[in-house]
A and B are shown apart, each in its own frame.
Chain A
Amino acid sequence: MIDVDAVIIGGGIVGASAALFLGKAGQRVALLERDFCGSHSSGVNYGGVRRQGRPLSQLPLSQRAHAIWAQLPQWIGIDGEYQRSGHLKLARSLDDWRALQDYADSSQGFGLALQLFDRAQLRARFPWVGDVAVGASYCPDDGHANPRLVSPAFAQAARRHGVQVHEQCAVTAVEHDGQRFRVLTQTGLQLRAPWLLNCAGAWAGSLAAQFGEPVPMHSGHPAMLVTEPLPLVMDASTGVEGGGIYARQVARGNCVLGGGQGFAQDESRARPGQGAVLDILRQAVELYPFLQGAQAIRTWSGTEGYLPDRQPVIGHSRTRPGLLHAFGFAGAGFQIGPAVGQALTEIICSGASTTPLDAFSITRFHSISAA
């Protein structure tokens, strides 16, 4: 029997950063990962490190994460190819353009420092953007990073702070004896802790349900692809208002593009799907004409948890004291993840998060599950 202060289920960026910050705060922590840390959504996502476009309720957490990203090498020991390239959100219609203007208005005061470009300004500033864009909103300090490196590095850093990291270690049973959680794993580990953190991503629903608070979560599988290395052209990470294609170019020259949905192969693996891949190949050349004739060399997908309002669940369980949830990031958990880890650490170490989490309470689904 291993006694710790907190058991964290899920070695994605949320679980691993919680492990890191708890470990740094002197807590005894066990991080359990069914596969390898950062090998699912946290490690295979698009790699956007973006505040722009998030619901206003997420912006305080997102700003907090922004400060962590600013010092990434100090936290995780590598730069993770993180660059503040700026994030450019394109509008393809006047309605979308107005939506960008509205967002710029309503997000004032959160520190995003958005700049609006009309068609002519956009052409002058980002000549590689295609004519289909009628305007754009630019967030200069947003950027992108390599999720394959960043997310596992949080787990490695946690390990350096004394956290027990158990990979290929699926949880088979969770019980509560009235005082503490008892967690059993497939590998035969038995752990006991007063705190249990449910950071199991798209697979977090079953634990929530076990403690009497089921959530209507479904899985999404974003389609993504990467080109061979190309001359450096894109000096910003990009997205499109209303959804569609997102794209960035890494220092090596490869362009990473995403858009549309793939499909699940089984419970844990997904593929991008040929329909979505072909759609990206066709649409991308309208938005980024320089891609005409370039070659896509690889495609992939992942498994992300979505709640109906596309907002995550973060914070206390209302049925079981000591249980904290943090899941359902709707494909947008990479940037915000480290701040969630910090907020969970504050709850455990000082009783409450200094960043408001009310909007993300699991109680918003209690009436649904009771119905």
Chain B
Amino acid sequence: MKPVVIIGAGPAGIRAAQTLVAHGVRPVLVDESARGGGQIYRRQPANFKRSPVTLYGFEARKANALHQTIDELRRQIDYRPDTLVWNAEGGALDTLHDGRAARLEFSRVIVATGATDRILPVPGWTLPGVYSLGAAQIALKFQGCAIGERVVLAGSGPLLYLVAYQYAKAGATVVAVLDSSPLGAQARALPGLLSLPGTLAKGIYYRSWLTAHGIPVHQGATLNRIDGQRRVQSLTWSDAKGQHPLECDAVAFAHGLRSETQLADLLGCAFAWNPLNRAWLPIRDRACRSSVAQVYLAGDGAGIMGADAAELAGERAALALLEDIGHTIAPQHPERLERALERIGNFRQGLERAFAFPEGWPAGISDEVMICRCEEVRAGDIRQVVREGHWEINRVKAHCRVGMGRCQGRMCGAAAAEIIAGESRREVSDIGRLRAQAPIKPLPFGLEIEA
């Protein structure tokens, strides 16, 4: 019999696996990483001995619980770490593990592929010493090293303050935090944020901790450019008062997160424009069912809601799956999960107001700014193609190669869409959606193929 497969061993995938096992179903859990936990609860290498509190702070208890769960589950599930799912077609997933390609057929699949940073480039962002916020956090959590000694953190989103706090606490000098959200946005967002007072309190704590430790936090602050000879040496930011130079040796920046939706796309899921995420997302119902009968969507891969929601959604998706294969599930618990997810959804609305997307970004980006690193496509190249009459993103890609390289638009797609929308004077929702194509990540020639 074909197994139930879960893709991704982060908070959503692990809770989904646990729920299935509790009902006597033994899933295959495929994960790209060596150790489960996902990005937010990423585990350090086995020979590293820092304490969970050092690594995860307030979230240590949750991280611990999740890691413990995956450790206990290992013997009850078919756990496949270090395994990339690079394609999906015909009721099967195509995997790559240790240089070997194989097919994994599934009866049903829970897609919990997570998210990456949303990057809005600035001049100098490809210099050595510039990282995404998520990458800066991974360096700290996983490898126990900072991205530099004098670090500036910029952009927007909850991760901005969390990473700043974690860096300062770990002993790095945080030169400044540059929050692009306008002054007062957070106050206006307060009603929505109050739906989860605990989470709000943590955010406030990080902010006040930074201030109490003398770390400058600037609001309404736009990162204008990053400079340096061979690596980051300084940057310029601006606010209503003018331009300000700042010396530093590393920068981490991002504007929130973006969902990893390629597998849902290859699995045939229907997509819809999601204004809150400012992205095309696979459609899911309250129970995490996608538009395709055998496919369920949980966690940030189907819309950014954070780790707590991912755990709940993983469980909800698994319960929906169990119900669909004939298990009787009492309705109270799924309903509780759905209500909890709804509360987080409300909070998320507040977060989006607090960390508003910088809609003016494309207008401020000069033609020389590199948008697509892989194919070396600059903002001006994209605009040129738009001026030739193209506005549909896949067509623009065909003409100037933006999003055509190694990352397949995972890093540059969001920024390219904003530039195209800006130049063609269309809404970013009206320029089409970058189609996913296999392989989701590069595939080597000469690989071995499992019969």
- Chain A 3-52 interface residues, beta-carbon cutoff 8 Å to B: 36, 39, 43
A297 touches B398 (CB 8 A): no
A284 touches B445 (CB 8 A): yes
Q: Which of B101, B388, B408 contacts A298 (CB 8 A)?
A: B408
Q: List residues of chain A with CB within 8 A of the CB of B437.
A: 271, 298-300
A274 — nearest CB in chain B belongs to which residue? Answer: B94
B363 at the interface (CB under 8 A from A): no
- Chain B 376-407 interface residues, beta-carbon cutoff 8 Å to A: 388, 392, 394-395, 398-399, 404-406
- Chain A 259-304 interface residues, beta-carbon cutoff 8 Å to B: 263, 271-274, 277-278, 281-282, 284-285, 291-300
A281 touches B408 (CB 8 A): no
B398 touches A296 (CB 8 A): no
Cα-based distance from A171 to B398 in the complex (angstroms) = 25
A228 at the interface (CB under 8 A from B): yes
A291 touches B445 (CB 8 A): yes
B445 touches A281 (CB 8 A): yes
Looking at chain A's contact residues, the main secondary structure is mixed
B360 at the interface (CB under 8 A from A): no
Cα-based distance from A152 to B396 in the complex (angstroms) = 12
Q: Residue-by-residue, is B407-451 near A (CB-CB < 8 Å gives 1, otherwise 0)? A: 010000000000000000000000000000111001111110100
A348 at the interface (CB under 8 A from B): no
Q: List residues of chain B with CB within 8 A of the CB of A293.
A: 444-446
- Chain A 144-165 interface residues, beta-carbon cutoff 8 Å to B: 148-149, 152, 156
Q: List residues of chain A with CB within 8 A of the CB of B444.
A: 281, 293-296
Cα-based distance from A274 to B101 in the complex (angstroms) = 10
A148 touches B447 (CB 8 A): no
B149 at the interface (CB under 8 A from A): no
- How many residues from B make CB contacts under 8 Å with A? 26
- How many residues from A make CB contacts under 8 Å with B? 30
B438 touches A295 (CB 8 A): no
Cα-based distance from A298 to B401 in the complex (angstroms) = 12
Q: Residue-by-residue, is A226-255 near B (CB-CB < 8 Å gives 1, otherwise 0)? A: 011000000000000000000000000000
- Max count, chain B CB within 10 A of own CB: residue among A263, A294, A297: A297
Cα-based distance from A297 to B374 in the complex (angstroms) = 11
B89 at the interface (CB under 8 A from A): yes
- Chain B nearest CB from A192 CB (Å) reads 26
The verdict on A152 contacting B445 (CB below 8 Å), with A298-B404, A298-B437, A299-B438 known, is no
A149 touches B89 (CB 8 A): no
B343 at the interface (CB under 8 A from A): no
Q: List residues of chain A with CB within 8 A of the CB of B447.
A: 278, 281-282
- Chain B 138-154 interface residues, beta-carbon cutoff 8 Å to A: none
B445 touches A271 (CB 8 A): no
A36 touches B89 (CB 8 A): no
B166 at the interface (CB under 8 A from A): no
Cα-based distance from A39 to B398 in the complex (angstroms) = 9
Q: List residues of chain B with CB within 8 A of the CB of A152.
A: 398-399
- Chain B nearest CB from A132 CB (Å) reads 14
Cα-based distance from A36 to B389 in the complex (angstroms) = 11
Q: Which of A36, A281, A298 contacts B395 (CB 8 A)?
A: A36
Q: List residues of chain B with CB within 8 A of the CB of A294.
A: 444-445
Q: Which of A228, A278, A285 contacts B405 (CB 8 A)?
A: A228
The verdict on A43 contacting B404 (CB below 8 Å), with A228-B442, A271-B89, A278-B449 known, is no
Q: List residues of chain B with CB within 8 A of the CB of A295.
A: 406, 442-445
Q: Which of A156, A273, A284 contacts B89 (CB 8 A)?
A: A273
B406 — nearest CB in chain A belongs to which residue? Answer: A297
The verdict on A149 contacting B399 (CB below 8 Å), with A285-B445, A285-B446 known, is yes
A265 — nearest CB in chain B belongs to which residue? Answer: B268
Cα-based distance from A36 to B399 in the complex (angstroms) = 12
The verdict on A274 contacting B89 (CB below 8 Å), with A152-B399, A228-B405, A298-B404 known, is yes
Q: List residues of chain A with CB within 8 A of the CB of B103.
A: 274
Cα-based distance from A39 to B438 in the complex (angstroms) = 19
Q: Which of A148, A227, A298 contacts B398 (CB 8 A)?
A: A148
- Chain A nearest CB from B109 CB (Å) reads 16
Q: List residues of chain A with CB within 8 A of the CB of B442.
A: 228, 295-297
The verdict on A277 contacting B438 (CB below 8 Å), with A284-B445, A291-B446 known, is yes
A257 — nearest CB in chain B belongs to which residue? Answer: B445
Q: List residues of chain A with CB within 8 A of the CB of B438.
A: 271-272, 274, 277, 299
Give 9 closest A-B pairs by Cβ, nearest first.
A295-B442, A148-B398, A291-B445, A285-B446, A292-B446, A274-B94, A296-B443, A294-B445, A297-B442
11 contacts between A and B (CB under 8 A): A39-B395, A152-B398, A228-B442, A272-B438, A281-B443, A282-B449, A291-B446, A294-B444, A296-B445, A297-B408, A299-B438
Additional pairs, 14, CB under 8 Å, beyond known A274-B103, A295-B442: A156-B388, A228-B442, A271-B437, A272-B438, A273-B89, A281-B443, A281-B446, A281-B447, A282-B446, A295-B443, A297-B405, A297-B408, A299-B438, A300-B437
